[in-house]
Structure 1
Amino acid sequence: MLLTTSQLHLSEIVTNDIKYIHALNSLPEVDEFNTSGIPESLDETQNLVLGWIDSQKKEPKERYTFSIVNKETNEFIGIVGLKMGKPNYRSAEIWYKLFPKTWKKGYATETVKEILRFCFNELKLHRIEAGCAIGNIGSIKVLEKCGFIREGQTRKLLPIRDNWIDNYFYAILEEDHNK
């Protein structure tokens, strides 16, 4: 499956993406708000990604995970995922990670907007949720630019580097998106 924006191609991840995902997940800047921590080895990343690929094959799909590639340079710049909720809820949770050199260039916003289009128009979902650490200003800006509403804050939810960090939770509904 291929989703396309003005600057990006989003395609479901494949095994060839493992080395790029490992490089992305190994960067301290990317790990700053990551609850999983930096992978200890390429094998650890491979096991994680192979699990994502397997879950993309199930029906109904449990998740979608897309590579984000710059159309002009053909460079892998990040990943975006959807963890599907129970079918009767017609919901999913979105997450994303991009290489720091691509931050503040609009790629994350463009990616999330395309995923929302896919969720609401093609998957016919009702609600998309997202969470982020309260200090993750970049992610907060992306979510709010894309129309997500901050619904609340969960105290000390995220285990990040031996600390418990508060989390904002966001959501956007189909009717919010189609306004």
Structure 2
Amino acid sequence: MLELSTDRLDLRTMVESDWPLFLRLHSEPQTMQYVFGEIAEEQVRQGFEHRLPAWGPQSEHWLCLVVTDRASGHELGVTGFRILSPGHAEVGCLLLPEHQGKGFGTESRKAIIDYAAAIGLNSLESTVTDGNIASCKVLEKCGFVFARRVPQAYQIGDRWFDDLIYHYQIR
């Protein structure tokens, strides 16, 4: 099991008993407003199951880590990445609404960047739905740079949104 830590956080590989957290994250309107439209529980379960197998740099699925507040023991959300091409990965993070805006997204993202560098990745990217200002700020605090806008790339409900692509160069 992979375990990472920061000053305030512990991050560990997601396991089967984390299903309630994963379901809640994907059911919270505030968390999902810029991520997906409403998703059936069966689809959420499929996404969860897809992330459970052991992860390695050759895996096609996401490395998914549960983020926990070391002081309180509360589970805050999940973070991780998936390899897109040799040396390059896409990173992502979902936090429960009550834990947003407290610096946990930035701190957990920095741990992911450090781990990506340690396993030899060269660059990272993150896709943010246009309008998700908080996520853009987290990425910029972590050193990501806006790279491009993809017009009308993603539909949530009956609205189309642009994708904002951010890049981070490790080496």
TM-score range for the pair, normalised by the shorter chain length: over 0.9
Greater share of helix residues, 1 or 2? 1
Number of the residue aligned with 1:124? 120
**Residues 1:170 and 1:16: Cα distance change in structure 2 (over 3 Å):** same
State whether residues 51 and 64 of structure 2, in contact with CA within 8 Å, keep that contact through their aligned partners in structure 1: yes
Q: Does 1:45 align with 2:41?
A: no
State whether residues 11 and 66 of structure 1, in contact with CA within 8 Å, keep that contact through their aligned partners in structure 2: yes
Aligned length: 169
Percent identical among aligned pairs is 25
Q: TM-score, normalised by structure 1?
A: 0.89
Displacement after TM superposition at 1:59 (Å): 6.4
Q: Does 1:68 align with 2:64?
A: no
**Residues 1:147 and 1:58: Cα distance change in structure 2 (over 3 Å):** closer
Deviations 1:148-177 (A, max 9, x none): 0101111000111121101110001013xx
Q: CA RMSD in A?
A: 1.4
Displacement after TM superposition at 1:46 (Å): 2.5
State whether residues 18 and 45 of structure 1, in contact with CA within 8 Å, keep that contact through their aligned partners in structure 2: no
Opposite residue 164 of structure 1, the aligned amino acid is: W
**Separation in structure 2 between the aligned mates of residue 50 and residue 61 of structure 1, nearest angstrom:** 14
Displacement after TM superposition at 1:45 (Å): 2.6
Number of the residue aligned with 2:80? 81
Number of the residue aligned with 1:109? 106
Residues 86-101 of structure 1 mapped to structure 2, 5 A cutoff: 86-87=85-86, 90-101=87-98
- For structure 2, list consecutive stretches of 5 or more residues without a partner in the other structure: none
Q: TM-score, normalised by structure 2?
A: 0.93
Q: Which runs of 4+ in 1 moved over 6 A?
A: none
Deviations 1:111-153 (A, max 9, x none): 0011001101x21101100010120010000000000010111
